Amino acid sequence: MRGYFRTFFLIVFYVALCKEILKAKDFASYEVTDGDTIVFIRGKGNRERIRLEGIDAPEMKQPCLTEGKACGELSKSYLKSLTSSDLYCEISGRDKYKRGLGTCFSKGINLNKVMVKQGYAVAYVYYTKIYEEDEREAKRSKKGLWKYGFKNPSQFRKEKKNTVQS
């Protein structure tokens, strides 16, 4: 009987460690929709949205605070420049919108980390502090969007929501 429990728990432990992995080569195409979202496309109407876990990028229409730059567009462009046909994402769960939450890689690079470290996204510390030091470094060095200044994306969304409701 003890052997059955041991086997059962080993199977449960193994399944818990396994993550769903989506690879660009297994799909017809993929699209970078903003600085923290990638969509894998199988065919018409068959799309898998992946939210880069642990980071938050400016909204597409979010402006930078100086020089009239569109921070959301700059963030998206930077993420797009990092992706290639060997793109894959390790999915760890789902968010309330049923998007996959994942860490994505291309050319062996952790895209989530690079987006924060190079200043094109912020660490989403509400959920995890894993990229917090990368954000501090980017901010201190004025990398990426930090050189233009921008509102934290969650603050921007909150203000936009309050303006719409008023």
- Active-site residue 136, yes or no? no
Q: What is the DSSP string of 79-113?
A: HHHH--TT-EEEEEEE-TT-PEEEEEEETTEEHHH
Structure token pair of residue 76: 């998206």
- Active-site residue 59, yes or no? yes
Q: Are 83 and 32 in contact (CB under 8 A)?
A: yes
- Active-site residue 47, yes or no? no
Cα gap 97→154, rounded to integer Å: 16
Among 48, 73, 99, 137, the active-site one is 99
Cα gap 53→103, rounded to integer Å: 6
The set of catalytic residues is 51, 59, 99
